[in-house]
Structure 1
């Protein structure tokens, strides 16, 4: 008589393995991403063309599952981050992604302002409203406002810029009530709370929100930047270099393949970013010959020092150049010998 074969154990094992793929762990995993040429992404009306190229660099960041976590453990340049290092407390992945895209929009605007100022071309602004970028845990807005909310009024009075909002709140004293009118997913609502002193700045009060202005920059010539779903502020420096290069006759690329990273402020200050090691790898794979890295005024743990270490580890010929400002990068390129 034939023995009956039970498939139940195999089914259970298969279910566990499939579950391990999809079950999210309380970590994020980041890996080297890509280096992407900017000239096809940024278009300036009647802008100048370049013979070399400027490239933005990215990391691939995603919520960890069992397999990606184990892979990252044994991969030298994969990084594992606890969930609360990447996302705010109670922040959903949707809110996190919204915040990343908003930071990218702010990065584009700062890059345009920096490049146009350097080129001596005026920029005008049309303010529309203010978005919530993030929430400070333990402050009055926590649990009442969310990243992505569009703020419309303070105590019934409309405002159109983050400066106006801060001015209204700064007139209050700790414990004073405040009513904020906002829209979320197309619906208008109000949030009532009391202002509170900031722990790290007890001379000032607030509700604990980071803000970003929703504004249109009016420029002549017009600028179009197509970034699809790329998020975060780290491409700011490279955006500003590409925009400036298209605005001016002299080709700053000097026929080189130039990558880099760093946030940018409207006045051209370059700030640090995460994942510099992974961006060095992405740039090297794309054939970059020069890489701009935030210098952080020579700090011992600066992005620049980490970039130099990684470049040495992977034995690349790519030159790592420290920059604190947009002008540092421009000055370096202006003095670079043309590549034949």
Structure 2
């Protein structure tokens, strides 16, 4: 009987230890090579998908919260990077971080629509919907009232047409003034009451949220996307190229497999992203022969924060050389750079 008790005790202890090793979340994320996906599967124009030969591919990294097992295993992956939680999600919870990434993807889709419609000569309007809540400061009186993912539509019954007017209204209020916030959560309207605070490190008043504008592209052109399972803003450039190709009825691929990354703005400006050294590997694994990489000048502020900082293009070139990749790395500052390259090559 004693031996059986000892056996079951040791078995229970082993199960607990195994559970800790496999499931205990650490304040670390592991980033490694993800995949390259044909953007055509996510985009419809006039209710039709693009079935022409070749592909325009978005690329993404695999980013997972480390457990002891994942952390140790990452040292056997030459592409893996271990990132502190503060660098990835700050003080946000995993669910808050996911909602923020979903917002960035929604915004990337909107900006890609605007850029592609403009290039195709189609009319559109960018309709302001409200303020998207990215996070709520711990000292905010709206903590546990507002949450990441909410859309603020009005303050004290005042509706605004741009974020700067919302900010200006709050700046003019007195500290500790009671305000009523109207917001949407899961398409349902709610209100919350709290007081303004002096924003940390400033002389301005506010309600203590980090925010971004939420908008919608309104056009007669039927451009739809389904980006479920993909977050972040880095697919913007490739989404815009795919949308433009379908809107203009211009085959940019010519049977080629073309990958890339970068944020996009309505005016076509391409922005820097993270993890590009892993994205070029994903692109080659998917058979890409061309890879578009953002090539923006490093600012003085960036250089001060990181003296070793380089542009995405240089980082991609360095990774391609290190890993002996054969795809062509093409620098882009604007979507027109990518279009000109594809039309001439």
TM > 0.5: yes
Aligned-pair CA distance for 1:208 = 4.6
CA offsets, 1:121-143, max 9 Å, x none?
Answer: 11124444332123467777666
Whole-Å Cα distance in 2 between the matches of residues 218 and 132 of structure 1?
A: 22
CA offsets, 1:19-76, max 9 Å, x none?
Answer: 2111111111122111000112111116875432100001111111011111113322
Pairwise mapping of residues 40-51 of structure 1 onto structure 2 (< 5 A)?
Answer: 40-45=41-46, 50-51=52-53
Name the TM-score, length of structure 2 as normaliser: 0.86
Aligned-pair CA distance for 1:255 = 2.4
Given that residues 31 and 61 in structure 1 are in contact (C-alpha distance below 8 angstroms), is that contact kept between their aligned partners in structure 2? yes
Partner of 1:32: 33
Whole-Å Cα distance in 2 between the matches of residues 208 and 293 of structure 1?
A: 36
Pairwise mapping of residues 1-20 of structure 1 onto structure 2 (< 5 A)?
Answer: 4=3, 6-7=6-7, 8-20=9-21
Whole-Å Cα distance in 2 between the matches of residues 203 and 291 of structure 1?
A: 45
Distance 1:136 1:271, change over 3 A: farther
Aligned-pair CA distance for 1:146 = 2.4
Distance 1:195 1:155, change over 3 A: farther
Aligned-pair CA distance for 1:308 = 0.9
Distance 1:137 1:82, change over 3 A: farther
Distance 1:157 1:9, change over 3 A: same
Partner of 1:220: 220
Partner of 2:191: 189
Whole-Å Cα distance in 2 between the matches of residues 282 and 71 of structure 1?
A: 20
Pairwise mapping of residues 138-287 of structure 1 onto structure 2 (< 5 A)?
Answer: 145-159=146-160, 161-170=162-171, 172=172, 175=175, 177=177, 179=179, 180-184=181-185, 186=188, 188-196=190-198, 199=201, 206-287=206-287
Whole-Å Cα distance in 2 between the matches of residues 207 and 324 of structure 1?
A: 36
Q: Size of the alignment, in residue pairs?
A: 331
User: Which segments of 5 or more consecutive residues in structure 1 lack a partner in the other structure?
Assistant: none
Aligned-pair CA distance for 1:250 = 2.8
Whole-Å Cα distance in 2 between the matches of residues 16 and 261 of structure 1?
A: 41
Partner of 2:302: none
Partner of 1:333: 342
Given that residues 40 and 50 in structure 2 are in contact (C-alpha distance below 8 angstroms), is that contact kept between their aligned partners in structure 1? no
Whole-Å Cα distance in 2 between the matches of residues 298 and 210 of structure 1?
A: 25
Between stretches 289-298 and 172-181, larger displacement belongs to 172-181
Between stretches 180-189 and 49-58, larger displacement belongs to 180-189
Whole-Å Cα distance in 1 between the matches of residues 324 and 259 of structure 2?
A: 17
Partner of 1:55: 57
SS of alignment partner, residue 297 of structure 1: coil
Whole-Å Cα distance in 1 between the matches of residues 137 and 115 of structure 2?
A: 29
